[in-house]
Amino acid sequence: MKKALIIQQDVIILKIIEKLMQLNSYDCKAIRSISDLNIEDQTRNFDIIISEILFDGIAPLDFVYQIQEIILHKSLIIVTNMGQERIRHEIMNTNKVSGFFAVPFDLDRIQKLIA
Amino acid sequence: MEPEWERIIFWAVNLLFLIYGVSLISIYFGGIILSDRAVKRNKRRAHFLQVKDIVSATDIPSVTLIAPAYNEGLTIVENVRSLLAIQYPFYELIIVNDGSKDNSMELLIEKFDLEPRDATFITQPLPTATVNKIYRSRKQQYKQLTVIDKNNGGKADALNAGINFAHTELVLCTDADCIIEQDALIKMVRPYLEEGREEIIACGAAIGIANDSVISNGVLKELRLPKDLIPTIQVVEYIRNFLIGRMGWGEINGLMLVSGAFGMYPRTRMIEVGGFNHGTVGEDLELCFRLRMHMEKIKKPYKIVYIPETLCWTEAPTDVKILIKQRERWARGLWETLVLHRNLFLNPKYRNMGIFFFPYWCLFEFGAPVVEFLGLISFCIFWYMGLISINTAILLFLVIYLIGCIFSTISIFMYIKNFRHYTTPAQITELLLAAYLEPFVYHPILLFGQMKGYYKKIFKLNTGWGAMTRKGFNTSA
Amino acid sequence: MFTTVLFYIIKFLFFILMGTWITIGVSLMYRSRRKRHLNKIEIVFAEITSRYLYPLPGQPFDLVRANRSFRDLGIHPGKPKNVQYLIDLMIRTQRSLLGKNYEKLELLYKQIPPYRVSQKKLLSKKWHIKARGLREIYEMDQKQYIKQVIREINHENIYVRREAQIGMVVFLGWESFRFIPYLKWDMTLWQQIKIVEKLHDLYPIANLKYLRKAYNIEKPYARELIMRIIRKFELVEEIDYIIRYIDSPNFDTRETAIYCISSFQLSEKQLIRLKYKFMNIVNSEQQVQLLKYIDRISPKVDIPFYKLLLYSGNDIIKLCSAEILWGHKCIDEVEEFYYHQYSVQQQPA
């Protein structure tokens, strides 16, 4: 079964995305912040990470760079509140992100990406 | 039997102290009512302009965060990292290295991969000490960081250098060693988004004390009360001053001070008034006076606003000597500013500022320690002359003490009711105890520091900022 | 006598102090319980909503059970604060989603509480309740109250009229521009931002007919709003409207124009017009912003233009022009200027 890591501060969005992933046959770990990650997560090779970029103590771009080193994964999708064009541009230019969705977002588009 | 004239003097002096005391208490309790109203209204307004609304919006004002640094080598990298992580989509960070003698610059250059840039063509509307080099990072993730390396000129000079190099609408001035809340910029920008007819010329927020709290990656992870009594009492003092004092004054547009450790200003207005004044150690107070005077002169409606939330955390002095130095410096700053702008006193040209707010600062902010000191002296004299009944004196003291306790208790209650800090019974009990011990343990130190500051001004004894030795925050990985 | 009075005062003050201690204790306990309860409501709502939008095989969505869960959590008309919290959660969720899920949520919200509370709020005299009601009505797409919403667009309280104006845009879209000439109060920056946002999210295809009709409105906030819309919707054909106000006598209008135009590439003709208007701008900082933009979008450096500024502008403009020329390797021109400056200073007065 494919593995997904979902990191979203908003518990409602977290649950909705979690259900979406489960429906698409993903085994999900859903957490509200990066401080809820543990040592085992670093060894799990996630197929996909769906994450916010607003975390305490770490700049958005820094997070995108650092997550590459901390957690093994195949693709990274950003779902965030801070979705200005400039931010989107910067994040996508890192070439480390498969998709960038700003609130409000269409979950069907995320579904197409993960299918 | 005492001569008649002695009795007359005794009663006259006591009457003066009574009038002064009653006026001060009335102002404090008036402040409670105003601040309660302001906090409630602020909460209601915040519902219509929430943090996540702003963080996702376009067209919001751009902000430059300016942080002067002097010999901060031990913590500079971590501080800059935490300032770079603030959650706001359009901001720049300028660190001004104010002629540090340690390895601050070397550390910054190494950790952030800085390279020097040409500053030949950058205009500097505010005169400052020589700027040696400007640095920007080669790395994409630090592209909003600028480091200015300049000759030493003091905090005000360093801030002015930062303002020169900023090109955003708003500038936020802070200290490099302060911990800033991640959503601080979003909350500080709120008033500017809702600005109507009155231009906002300065915006401040509460500063909290984070001694012995747990900091991780430059973020306050766990707020604890300080272990020592002196900083704990300062927590109570800050709560009173910021929540009651500033909020109350802000409600009637009477705010005359935005803290230098955390204040946001429109950049154009800063340049118009000439930036911070490095001729005084109270540069933050002096700037607010000048900004207000400028707006009165050009006859444009304005206000200074205050966010009733703790958005910035700092370290309070734990050592009595350092505390005295700090309060002495504040007293000198106050003296210098009031003397510099003495033309405001009862001057109707400056409307409410001249007629009410400036006189308040002269009579009560400046005058309170003087009156208290004179009160102590007159008590001693009258005691010696046998004019004082000890029982009455003790009872009077108890009345004043209980009024003070009620005032502090209400302040603490308002703070914990409206904000999420200090939520456990143990913390609240500690705060209350600190408040009740304050008149005996802390207040005399305060009075001494303030009078020392005035003494130095009277006898023209020169001291600058002095050094504040910091323990540093308790950091965890 | 005096000491007796003091004794009574001390007793009174002590009772007040005790009263504040008791208030603190009660408040602490209440808030701790309340926070736990609200967290529970949020988690249950998250569970119900996620199960409704994406029911897993073998776990179909049960509306009766969902309503019972809400009732068990105290969400019923007798507890308005709980009802209000649920409304806030519903709005928060709906605002985060687009597409089919948005419509599905609308359907769900019709079947669960909150008992028409939003409509009752419109009748309140308190500004924060009225404004909240307006917000809930447009966020939950309750179009049947559109008349009541439009009635409040000129309310004296800024929050009420702001929510009413946003509601008007949500319901009427581009057609709401018909009402802009009738607004009596200025629009704040946040009002403009929200209106542009809602228009973009809900009506992404621009209706130029209504937009162009608003061009004649003289009010500065209307101009700023239109410029922001042109920028957000990338209406290249309407750039001339922005250029018109680059040299407006109003500082904020100029600032907005300069900000908005910086998203566009201009044609040769538009660039010439912009350079002409540049000379009329009274604020040096804004001139510098505009110069940098002109430099950024120009296919080649206009040396005569920058030389003109070098010799006739104020110090700030001179410096900016020199920087631009220097950056384009026009070093001779810059050096010539500075030698000229030097020789002028050398000549006796």
User: Would an 8 Å CB–CB cutoff place C42 in contact with chain A?
Assistant: yes
Task: Show residues of chain C in contact with A14, CB under 8 Å.
Answer: 46
Task: Show residues of chain A in contact with B216, CB under 8 Å.
Answer: 57
For chain A, the average pLDDT equals: 91
Query: Chain C closest CA to A114's CA: distance in Å?
Result: 15
User: Would an 8 Å CB–CB cutoff place C121 in contact with chain B?
Assistant: no
What's the pLDDT tens digit per position in B367-421?
Answer: 999 999 999 999 999 988 888 888 889 999 999 999 999 999 999 999 998 888 8
Q: Point out the residue among A16, A106, A109 whose CB comes nearest to the CB of C50.
A: A16
What's the pLDDT tens digit per position in C54-71?
Answer: 998 888 888 899 989 999
What are the residues whose beta carbons fall under 8 Å from the beta carbon of B437, sequence distance 6 or more? B229, B233
Give B203-252 as a DSSP string: EEEEEEE-TT-EEETTEEEE----SSHHHHHHHHHHIIIIIIIIHHHHHT
From C183, C140, C181, C143, select the one nearest C162 (Cα to Cα). C183
Instruction: Read off the amino acid at residue C164.
Output: A
Query: Which A residues in the span 56-95 are in contact with C, Cβ-Cβ below 8 Å?
Result: none
Q: Point out the residue among C54, C99, C100 whose CB comes nearest to the CB of A19.
A: C54
User: Would an 8 Å CB–CB cutoff place A115 in contact with chain C?
Assistant: no
Say if CB B366 and CB B338 are below 8 A apart: yes
Q: Point out the residue among B49, B60, B399 whose CB comes nearest to the CB of C10.
A: B399
User: Would an 8 Å CB–CB cutoff place C234 in contact with chain A?
Assistant: no
Q: Is the peptide bond before B125 cis (omega within 30 degrees of 0)?
A: no
Half-sphere exposure of B213 (CA within 13 A, CB side): 25
CA-CA distance, C7 to B219, in Å (whole number)?
A: 50
Element holding B305 (H helix, E strand) = strand B302-314
CA angle (B415 as vertex; B413, B418 as ends), nearest 5: 105
- Contact between chains at A57 and B219 (C-beta distance less than 8 A): yes
The three-class DSSP label of residue A37 is coil
E strands, B99-156, are: 114-117, 131-137, 145-150
For chain A, which residues lie within 8 Å of any Cβ of chain B, measuring from their own Cβ? 54-59, 61-62, 65, 81-87, 90, 93-94, 102-103
Task: Show residues of chain C in contact with B125, CB under 8 Å.
Answer: 316
- Contact between chains at B48 and C16 (C-beta distance less than 8 A): no
Helix axes B425-441, B443-458, angle to 10 degrees: 50
- Identify the band that residue A41 occupies on the pLDDT scale cut at 50, 70 and 90: confident
- Contact between chains at C53 and A23 (C-beta distance less than 8 A): no
Query: Which B residues in the span 44-63 are in contact with C, Cβ-Cβ below 8 Å?
Result: 44-45, 47-49, 57-61
User: Would an 8 Å CB–CB cutoff place C18 in contact with chain B?
Assistant: no
User: Would an 8 Å CB–CB cutoff place C314 in contact with chain A?
Assistant: no
Task: Show residues of chain C in contact with B395, CB under 8 Å.
Answer: 3, 6-7, 10
User: Would an 8 Å CB–CB cutoff place C92 in contact with chain A?
Assistant: yes
Q: Point out the residue among B82, B87, B141 whose CB comes nearest to the CB of A54.
A: B87
CA-CA distance, B112 to B159, in Å (whole number)?
A: 21
What's the pLDDT tens digit per position in B336-364?
Answer: 999 999 999 999 999 999 999 999 999 99
Please classify residue C137 by burial: count the beta carbons closer than 10 Å to its beta carbon, then call 0-12 exposed, 13-18 middle and 19+ buried.
Answer: buried
Q: Point out the residue among A57, A87, A94 whose CB comes nearest to the CB of B89.
A: A87
Q: Point out the residue among C54, C89, C98 whose CB comes nearest to the CB of A12.
A: C89
Average pLDDT for residues C122-141, to the nearest whole number?
A: 92
Query: Which C residues in the span 254-273 are in contact with B, Cβ-Cβ below 8 Å?
Result: 255, 259
**Hey, what are C336's tokens?**
């010539």
Could you tell me which residue, C333 or B335, shows the higher pLDDT? B335
Place of tokens 């605002």: C95
- Contact between chains at B56 and A83 (C-beta distance less than 8 A): yes
pLDDT for res B470: 55
List the single best residue of A69, A84, A92 to mutate versus B (max B Cβ within 10 A): A84
pLDDT for res B477: 41
Residue C114 has pLDDT above 80, yes or no: no
Q: Point out the residue among C53, C98, C201 whose CB comes nearest to the CB of A19.
A: C53
The three-class DSSP label of residue B147 is strand
Say if CB B159 and CB B129 are below 8 A apart: no
List the single best residue of B53, B141, B217 to mutate versus A (max A Cβ within 10 A): B141
Q: Point out the residue among C283, C289, C319 whose CB comes nearest to the CB of B123.
A: C319
- Closest residue in chain B to residue A82, using alpha carbons only: B56
What are the residues whose beta carbons fall under 8 Å from the beta carbon of C224, sequence distance 6 or more? C187, C192, C252, C253, C256
How many helical (H) and strand (E) elements, i.e. helices and strands, does chain B have?
A: 17, 13
Q: DSSP letter for B102, please.
A: S
User: Would an 8 Å CB–CB cutoff place B87 in contact with chain A?
Assistant: yes
Alpha helices in B280-419 (DSSP H): 283-297, 320-340, 351-352, 358-360, 367-384, 390-418
Query: Which C residues in the span 140-159 are in contact with B, Cβ-Cβ below 8 Å?
Result: 158-159
List the single best residue of B54, B56, B65 to mutate versus A (max A Cβ within 10 A): B56
pLDDT for res B232: 96
CA-CA distance, B135 to B118, in Å (whole number)?
A: 9
What's the pLDDT tens digit per position in C101-112?
Answer: 988 988 888 887
**Hey, what are C216's tokens?**
């004649």
Determine the length of chain A: 115
Say if CB C157 and CB C191 are below 8 A apart: no
pLDDT for res B475: 54
- Contact between chains at A23 and C56 (C-beta distance less than 8 A): yes
Task: Show residues of chain A in contact with C101, CB under 8 Å.
Answer: 16, 106-108
- Contact between chains at A61 and B141 (C-beta distance less than 8 A): yes
Query: Chain B closest CA to C313's CA: distance in Å?
Result: 14
What are the residues whose beta carbons fall under 8 Å from the beta carbon of B46, sequence distance 6 or more? B190
Q: DSSP letter for C236, please.
A: G
Domains and CATH numbers, chain B: 1-48+198-259+270-465 (no CATH), 61-194 (3.90.550.10)
- Contact between chains at C50 and A18 (C-beta distance less than 8 A): yes
pLDDT for res B217: 80
- Contact between chains at A86 and B90 (C-beta distance less than 8 A): yes
Say if CB C172 and CB C147 are below 8 A apart: no
Residues of chain B with pLDDT under 70: 1-2, 462-477
pLDDT for res B435: 96
User: Would an 8 Å CB–CB cutoff place C30 in contact with chain B?
Assistant: no
User: Would an 8 Å CB–CB cutoff place B33 in contact with chain C?
Assistant: no
**Hey, what are C268's tokens?**
């040769």
The three-class DSSP label of residue B113 is coil
CA-CA distance, B193 to B189, in Å (whole number)?
A: 6
Domains and CATH numbers, chain A: 2-114 (3.40.50.2300)
- Contact between chains at A58 and B85 (C-beta distance less than 8 A): yes
CA-CA distance, B265 to B466, in Å (whole number)?
A: 27
Say if CB A54 and CB A60 are below 8 A apart: yes
- Contact between chains at B194 and C190 (C-beta distance less than 8 A): yes
Q: Point out the residue among A65, A81, A103 whose CB comes nearest to the CB of B141.
A: A65
What's the pLDDT tens digit per position in C27-45?
Answer: 999 999 999 999 999 999 9
Least confident of B128-132, B196-200, C182-186, C343-347: C343-347
Least confident of A40-44, B98-102, B373-377, C266-270: A40-44
CA-CA distance, A82 to B57, in Å (whole number)?
A: 8
CA-CA distance, B157 to B152, in Å (whole number)?
A: 8
User: Would an 8 Å CB–CB cutoff place C47 in contact with chain A?
Assistant: yes
Q: Point out the residue among A15, A20, A104 whose CB comes nearest to the CB of C47.
A: A15
CA-CA distance, B250 to B242, in Å (whole number)?
A: 10
